[in-house]
Every structure is written in structure tokens, then in C-alpha cells.
Chains A and B, each alone.
Chain A
Amino acid sequence: METFAKIHHALKELSRWLVWLGGGALLISAIIVTVDVISRKFIGITMSGSDELSGYVFSASTTMAYSYCLLHRSNVRIDAFYNMMPQALRATLDVIGLALLMYYMWFMTEAGVLAFLESWELNSVSITTLETPQWIPQFFWMAGLVLFFAMLIFVTLYSLVALLQRNWDLVGRIAGIPSIADVIEEETHGVDVMEEAAAGREV
């Protein structure tokens, strides 16, 4: 179990690094697009392909962020009835939900890998002035999918083991739906909203 916890922690760190990388890439493409827009408007020069490049950055950073989303329990689930259920049933549903997500992602990942291999073999390029070989951006996109799938396998296994040990709390921490307090924490942690609310700070 301890090994599981260690790996889980390491994967969390890895996914955070990937998200920083993806976010940085998004920021840089935002800057490129901005400068492109301004210079196009005011001095009449433009760089064709800034839209295409940011599309690639977007596709890769999104799939890379799937893992982060999984490890931070941010997948959207309908909790209307979930919240009324006893803890043991909730834990069981958590594992079933993960397994079904894995089933779906198996097809997606396979399709992603096949799409990449096809572009690689056919050497297909984009029908734009950049003529980007499609396998390059597709590789990063696919790598994100494969990584996500690998993490899904791990998290499903981890939570299954915890479930079999009847450790409902642990299952909840790995795979459960976060409470609303957790969600607010996640969405505003940079602002330290909760502490200030507790302190009753002046406007």
C-alpha cells in the first residue's frame, strides 16, 4: 500500500509539472497571437500560422492536463444521488466510475495512437502554408492520451485495492467527488478566500 501511495504522490508531482509546461506554452502562444494581432492591425505585417501553432499547443496541453484532472479528482460527475448514499456504496461507485472511464479512454487512446501512426507512415502535412508534418503535434497529443490512460490504470488499481481493504476514506481521497469546500479551495486557492472569510476581513 505504501508503494502505491508513493507512486500516487510522484504521479501527482509529474502531472503538475506537465500542467506548468502546458500553461507556459499556452501563455507564449497567447503572446505570439497578441503581437500578431497588434502588428497586423497597426503596421500591416502578419505571421501566418500563429493560429495553427496555438491550435497544436492547445491540443497537446489539454491531453497532458487530463492526468492532472484525474489525480485532482476534477472529472465532472453528477452527484445528485451520490451524496445521499452510504460511504461504502459511494466508494464502490468511485471505482466503477473509474473503470468505465478507463473503458472509454481505451478506445480514445487506441484511436489517438492509430491516428498518430497513420500520419507518421503517410507523412501527412497540414493543408496550410506552414505544411506542418502532422505527426509532430499529434505525437504530443497522443502522448498525453497514453499518459492519461496509464494513470487511469494505476488509479483504478490503487482505489480497487483500497476498496477491497474496506478503506472507504482512502478511496474517497483517491477517486471520490470532492466536497464543495474542496472545490472552492481548488478554484480560489491563490486568493486565500477561506482564511479571509474566517477572519471576517473588512471590505
Chain B
Amino acid sequence: MAVWILLGLLILVTAAVPVAAVLGILSFVLDEIAMDGRLTFGIGEIVWDKSKEFILVAVPMFILLGEIMLRAGIARRMYGAVIQWLSWLPGGLMHANIGSCTIFAASSGSSVATAATVGTVAYPEIEKRKYNESLFLGSLAAGGTLGILVPPSINLILYGLLTDTSVPELYLAGIFPGLMLAFLFMAVIIFACLYRKSWGGDPVRTTWGERIRTLPDLLPPVLLFAVVVGSIYAGVATPTEAAAVGVVFAIGLAAWHNFQAPIEKPIDLLPIGVGFGAAIGCMFMGLNVAYAALGILAFLAVFTGVRKARSFPFWLTIALFVFPLTAFMIYAPASDVTRIMFGVLVVLCAIGFGMKKGVLAPKMFVESFEGTLRTTAMIMLIVFAAIFLNFVLGFMGITQAMLNFIAELGLTPVETILLIVVFYLILGMFMETLSMMLTTVPVVFPIVMSLNVAEFSDVWFGILITLLMEAALITPPIGVNLYVVQGIRARGGKFNDVAIGAVPFVIAMLVMIGILIAFPGVATYLPNQFF
């Protein structure tokens, strides 16, 4: 029986049937065999309950925030800044590829968008600075994968939902391995370029003045990351709330980006520093009113551009608006809901004002909405099918059968984990990553938990499987990021160039996976400090 089911599954997948339909039909068939189709009656309630789950709302929010950052053109300017800071290393711009992918990926939900955006800006440099094309393209494909490990990551949310693992803990666990992997990638580039000097291309010359001038271009993604991830760990917001705050913040950043005046001297950064410093100072002294007002002021200083922020009339105007609004929010003799709705209205007016002034393009919103909901619908159609499959599997005891099978193999826990790693590496060569995770986690997760090794926790496995998904993104024949990088090569060339260039980075990933298995603390240390 099991053989027939697997065979049927294989045929459906080979025939490129939509993954959601494959999972759904598999659930129906299993349900029909085991429970006479009784569970299928419950599918409406199961899916509805999950459909309005607050943690899932984080998925479209994070995608929307990435879309806004992308369409506002923030990523492109950031690349120029990262070049200034990282390209003195042997390997030059390739480090900027990894660096800006890490930063941008931390705010974007789509690894396709990340690789494509950074890739198109970087691509002309290959010829100009005579890089080894293969390695350069590989660094782009590999850098793009970091997005699913560095928080905020959509994959980790979905993993958390399927396995009942805390998303904030997963996010904390992802930070260190994500950074380590980025450093491993950079180490690979350094070694390769020390080995063959010609691969590293012509060096980039820059000065400290130049570097400081580009700092504001680095600021938006860093600030966004600080707001989103910071508010989760400060206990201010849940992941979904943090994502929502991130969306509003990203709109502010987009407006700033379009309005920004150039920074000429380091002193130009002073107003922002003073604003934020004062805000943080007030927070420590417990001055709520002053804090709220100053926070908004500091935000607006960033918002409206540094040059303007230095002029006195500007501050006066802002103060005249901000203080009454803040005071109303705090002291108005109205119900809480009214005061909050007033705040919402203020934000909406600000967005409308931004549109009128031409710093926020309606086109940006419309395209962001389309991109966001297309991706969300694409993911959710599969997620709901996977949730139902999970439910059916739970009832059928297939998981138990699987556990018995693994127990009979008589492997040690580490051997079992290695077996799982090999399984995913092979599967990842052929399968789209998200569907790969959603279809296999319901079965594989209980196996890992049944090992009963304290270090191999649910959080740890979430990071391991995410690393494996990253590897899947750049292992041929099917690796989405390889395709994307191939797709942006204006001069064309063999697909093999990209695939070969990615090999050193796949090795770096394998090293990282080895480290994670040998020292699970790499992932679990941070969350253990907090929770």
C-alpha cells in the first residue's frame, strides 16, 4: 500500500501537478483508506481556524515590508554603501554581494527578489573589474539564500506553526548561525582569491570620507532590522505585531529615501544622533510623554532628510504638530479605541500627505500589494493543504509507523540526524524548498523529537532544516537562486558557470551544518539566555 501511495505521489510530482493539489489529494486518499473519508468533513473548520491565526498574519506583513523596501529602491543604494565598507578584502565586490544580501535579506521575504536585485546591480562589475565570473555569480546565488535564516524569516514562522515551536525563539536561534554562515561565505571568497589572485578582480579604492558619506544608505535596513527584531526581544511586540510595525516603518523609510538630501560632512548625522540619544535617555528616565514626542521627532528627522532637519523653522513646525498630537493621544478624555483610531488616522493622513508631496508613489503601494498577495496566496494554498495533511497523518498513526521503522534501524541519534541531512540534500536537488519543508516536516519532526536528545531541540531542528533549505536553493539541477542569477546575466552564458561557482558555497553550508550538529549550542545558546 505504502509503495503505491509513494509511487502515485512521485507521478503527480513529476507531472508538475500544483503542490497544493498533490498534498490535498494525498490527504484525501489517506483519509479514505484509514478513516473512510471522515476527516475530510472537518477540513472547513481546520482551515478556517488556521486562516485567522494571528501568527500567520506575520507572513503577508513581512512580505509586504520586503516589497516596500525593494520597490522604494532602498536595496540598490545600500549595495553602493556596502561596497565602500567591505571591498578592501581580497575578493572585493564579492564580499559586498554577501554583505548586502545579508542585510537586505534580513528585511525581504523573497530570496528571488534578493538575488535578483543585488545581482542586477552587481552584474556589470564582473566585466568592468575583471572578476572570475563563475565565483562572482556563485556569491550572488549563495548570498540570496541567507534571507530564510536571518530573521525575520517566513520559513521559520511556517516551521513554528507546523511544529508548535516558539517563533521568537527560532528568530533568536537564527541570528548567530546566519551571521556565521555569512562569514563562512566570505572566508570562502578570501581563500579562493588568495589561491588565485586573478579571481579577485581589480581592487576598489575608497576613503574614510567616502565611507561615512554612504552611511545613511546603510541606515534604513539596519534601523528596520533593529525595530522589528528589537521590539520582539524587548517584549514590546509579538512577531506579527513587530511585522506590522515594520511595514509602517518601511513606508516611512521609503518616503525618506525619496526625499533624502545628501550627507556632506559627518556632522550632518548629528541631528539624528541627538534625536535618538534624547529619546533613549528619556526612556531610561521614565519620561513617557517626552519619549513619545521625541521618538516621533527623531523619526521625522530621519524621515525628512538630514539637511532640512538642521534648520530651526523645520523643527518648530514639526514640534507644533507633534506635541499636540502626542498630547491628544495621551490625555484626551476619550475611550482607548477612539484615541487609537485617532492615531491610525494620523498615520493615514501622513501617508496621504507623502503621496501628495510625491515622496510616496501610489504605484509603489499597488505593486507591493500585488507582489505581497501573490506570494502570500501561493504559500498559503500549500500551507493549508500541508496543515490538513498533518492532521490526517496524526490520526492515521503513520508517524508512529515511521518512528518504529527508524527505531528498528538501530542508529545512534547523530547517525539518524545525518541520515535526515542526506535525505534533505538529495530531495533539495529536485524540489522547490518551501514545499519541501511543508511536506516533510510533519513526518520528520516527530522522528527528531523521538531521539530524546536535549541538545537536538525543536528550535535547533528548525535552524538545521532552514540551513538544508538554503543548500537546496543553490544545488543543481533545481535551485531557484541559481536560475535567478542565470536569468539576470545580460550577456548570457552557460548555466554551468553559476552551478560551479556555487559549489564552494555549498561546501561552506555543509561545514555550517556540521558545526550545528557538533555544537547545537550555536543555535540554542541565544534563545536559552532569553527564555
Contact = CB atoms under 8 A, between A and B. Distances in A.
Interface string A36-74: 111101110111001110111111011111101100101
A76 B373 contact: no
A62 B377 contact: yes
B110 A187 contact: yes
A23 B370 contact: yes
A75 B20 contact: yes
A180 B51 contact: no
A86 interface: no
Contacts of A181: 487
Contacts of B490: 197-198, 200
Contact of B377 (A47, A74, A105, A197): A74
Interface size class of A (residues with CB under 8 A): 35 or more
Interface string A1-42: 000000000000000100110111011111111111111011
A203 B48 contact: no
A133 interface: no
B224 to A, nearest CB: 13
Contact of A76 (B48, B113, B337, B435): B435
Nearest to A200: B124
Interface stretch (B130-138, B314-322, B359-367, B402-410): B359-367
A97 B244 contact: no
A82 interface: yes
B25 interface: yes
B216 interface: no
A141 B20 contact: no
Contact of B54 (A41, A54, A138, A191): A54
B378 A69 contact: yes
Given A41-B236, A75-B378, A111-B43, A58 B60 contact: yes
Contacts of B336: 45-47
A39 B51 contact: no
Given A45-B339, A75-B378, A96-B17, A19 B244 contact: no
Contact of A191 (B15, B117, B292): B117
Given A58-B51, A101-B20, A104-B25, A76 B288 contact: no
A111 B50 CA distance: 14
Contacts of A93: 15-17
B376 interface: yes
Interface in B342-380: 343-344, 347-348, 363-378, 380
B142 interface: no
Q: Which of B236, B344, B366, B367 has the largest count of A CB atoms less than 10 A from its CB?
A: B344
A27 B371 CA distance: 13
- The secondary structure that dominates the B interface is helix
Contacts of A191: 70-71, 73, 76, 117
B47 A197 contact: no
A27 to B, nearest CB: 7
- The secondary structure that dominates the A interface is helix
Contact of B374 (A37, A45, A186): A186
Contacts of B16: 77-79, 81-82, 93-94, 97, 177
A34 B245 contact: yes
Contact of B47 (A28, A97, A108, A196): A108
Given A27-B365, A76-B378, A34 B19 contact: no
Interface of A: 16, 19-20, 22-24, 26-39, 41-43, 45-47, 50-52, 54-59, 61-66, 68-69, 72, 74-82, 93-94, 96-97, 100-101, 103-105, 107-108, 110-115, 137-138, 141, 177, 180-181, 183-184, 186-191, 193-194, 196-198, 200-203
Interface of B: 12-22, 24-25, 28, 40-45, 47-48, 51-54, 56-57, 60-61, 64, 70-71, 73, 76, 79-80, 83, 110, 112-113, 116-117, 120-125, 231, 236-237, 240-241, 243-245, 247-248, 288, 291-292, 295, 329-330, 336-337, 339-340, 343-344, 347-348, 363-378, 380-382, 384-385, 430-432, 434-435, 477-478, 483-484, 486-488, 490
24 contacts: A19-B370, A22-B369, A23-B64, A29-B57, A30-B247, A34-B347, A38-B245, A47-B337, A57-B57, A62-B380, A64-B373, A68-B377, A75-B19, A75-B20, A78-B16, A81-B14, A81-B16, A107-B24, A177-B16, A183-B484, A184-B487, A194-B120, A196-B121, A203-B80
